[in-house]
């Protein structure tokens, strides 16, 4: 006999906590929500990346790193994985909300490493992400345009016009560090970055 749990209701409770508790409990809420991911329907799962990135507007800055990490390592891959099994392609909602997610990340976080981490995750799961950056440059608020232009020319240097300034207002982008192996009995003595994250 198995216990029948209402995972959608559990997700709704976690989502309501997100709006009520912008404090140290944020990490626990993210972890709990991540544990629910494999049990959610594909329709709910496809909307979670946008919901997760929108918490950047309300959560304090010390949680921004966790938000981007959980989004890049769990929420986006699971949303894409769940829909590719069913439809054979990137889900429409994740595909359409990519530029909005980039815009929110650039608007509410000033750390360029977070921008790069989100962009690289999107590049891994979605084609033609440069179009999303062009959308951010065209329609985004003025504060997100310089980082978006810098990222566009950093990741797609062939789009940079000849004679263009290579650095915009001193913005420097460094690559984010991938997840390190956390296995207690890891055979790797120097804790190198994990080669593969398995989400099955």
**pLDDT, tens only, 56-88:** 888 888 888 888 988 888 888 888 776 555 555
Count Cβ atoms below 10 Å from residue 6 Cβ, excluding itself: 10
Hey, which bits of 97-173 come out as E strands? Answer: none
- Count of domains observed in the chain: 1
Q: Domain of 129?
A: 1-14+21-159
Question: What are the structure tokens assigned to 87, written together?
Answer: 């439809």
pLDDT of res. 102: 94
The span from the CA of 169 to the CA of 138, in Å, is 19
- Assess if residue 175 is contained within a domain: no
pTM: 0.72
The CA R_g of the chain, rounded to the nearest whole Å, is: 18
- Assess if residue 51 is contained within a domain: yes
- Assess if residue 164 is contained within a domain: no
The span from the CA of 134 to the CA of 6, in Å, is 41
CA 125 to chain centre: 11
pLDDT of res. 1: 42
Q: In the predicted model, is pLDDT for residue 22 greater than 70?
A: no
The span from the CA of 198 to the CA of 48, in Å, is 19
Residue 185: CB partners within 8 Å, gap ≥ 6? none
Contact 198, 139 (CB under 8 A): no
Q: Which comes out higher in pLDDT, residue 43 or 188?
A: 43
- Assess if residue 168 is contained within a domain: no
- Assess if residue 170 is contained within a domain: no
- Assess if residue 72 is contained within a domain: yes
- Assess if residue 150 is contained within a domain: yes
Q: In the predicted model, is pLDDT for residue 3 greater than 80?
A: no
pLDDT of res. 11: 61
pLDDT tens string 124-166: 888 889 999 999 999 999 999 988 988 888 888 888 887 766 5
pLDDT tens string 27-45: 777 788 888 888 888 778 8
The span from the CA of 71 to the CA of 73, in Å, is 6
- Assess if residue 61 is contained within a domain: yes
């Amino acid at each position: 006999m198995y216990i029948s749990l209402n995972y959608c209701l559990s997700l709704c409770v976690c989502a309501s906590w997100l709006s009520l508790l912008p404090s140290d409990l944020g990490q626990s809420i993210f972890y709990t929500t991540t544990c629910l991911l494999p049990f959610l329907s594909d329709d709910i799962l496809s909307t979670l990346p946008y919901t997760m990135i929108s918490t950047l507007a309300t959560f304090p800055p010390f949680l921004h790193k966790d938000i981007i990490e959980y989004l890049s390592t769990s929420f986006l891959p699971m949303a894409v994985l769940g829909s590719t099994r069913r439809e054979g392609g990137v889900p429409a909602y994740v595909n359409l909300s990519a530029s909005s997610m980039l815009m929110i990340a650039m608007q509410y976080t000033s750390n360029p490493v977070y921008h790069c981490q989100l962009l690289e995750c999107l590049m891994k799961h979605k084609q033609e992400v440069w179009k999303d950056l062009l959308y951010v440059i065209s329609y985004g608020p003025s504060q997100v345009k310089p980082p978006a232009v810098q990222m566009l020319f950093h990741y797609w240097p062939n789009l940079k016009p000849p004679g263009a300034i290579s650095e915009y207002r001193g913005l420097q982008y460094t690559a984010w560090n991938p997840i390190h192996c956390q296995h207690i009995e890891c055979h790797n003595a120097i804790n190198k970055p994990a080669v593969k994250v398995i989400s099955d």
